[in-house]
Amino acid sequence: MVGTRATKGERTRQRIVELAAPVFNRQGFVGASLRDLIGATGLEKGGIYNHFGSKEQLALEAYDYAMTRVTESLARSQDGATDAIDRLTRMIRAFARNARRPSVEGGCPIMNTAIEADDTHPDLRDRARESMTLWHRLVGRIVKDGKAAGTLAPDLDPYALASTITGSLEGALMLSQLYADAAHMDRVVDHLVAHIESLRVKEGQR
């Protein structure tokens, strides 16, 4: 049987991605210079480009790594959830916790990448869009499960709620970073949690 243990080259490549991810997340694709990447990884230019064909390829893989860390954090928040309301509430609070203690230094990769990439780096922009779409779909699935279980009203629009949750949280993150004040995130979280709870179908309405 062929072993699945990573080769030295694969381990080095993964290490470069892990060390480069905070650099790109903090400074963006344009702001992250080759000198910054050399400083973070401890490798010279040739050592980096021996594993990656271009800076953009490294940036894309660094983004994927950063998003995997964020996604894992949101997924863990679902452990032990009792119903759709609880699942959504846990997700919202997990995002807020991650804003305070980011899985990858620099904050939310989706927001950082979407703002910088725009029309300048379409591949990075598309990655951010795909990530947000997956987040919307996750919220949508939770809402659909809640509707099927009778916890949420059958006419609740899952994707409208997804837009409300993600837009509010990303906006709160931007304000918190801009003013260096987590109170903006706390206010939005409290509002969203109260709103989610208000959507619960009462026993007599089922």
Asked whether the predicted pLDDT for residue 64 surpasses 90, the reply is yes
On the 0-12 / 13-18 / 19+ scale of CB atoms within 10 A, 14 is middle
Give pLDDT tens digits for 131-146: 999 999 999 999 999 9
Q: With both helix axes pointing from N to C terminus, report the angle between 34-41 and 55-76 in degrees, rounded to the nearest 10.
A: 60
Tokens (6 digits) for 1: 């049987």
Residue 4: predicted pLDDT: 58
Residue 52: predicted pLDDT: 93
Tokens (6 digits) for 152: 């949420």
Asked whether the predicted pLDDT for residue 205 surpasses 70, the reply is no
For residue 189, name the pLDDT band (cuts at 50, 70, 90). Answer: very high
Supply the CATH classification number for the domain 63-201: 1.10.357.10
Give the residue extent of every domain in the chain. 63-201
Residue 10: predicted pLDDT: 87
Asked whether the predicted pLDDT for residue 178 surpasses 90, the reply is yes
pTM of the entire structure? 0.87
Task: Tell which residue, 123, 108, 112, 105, has the closest CA to residue 40.
Answer: 105
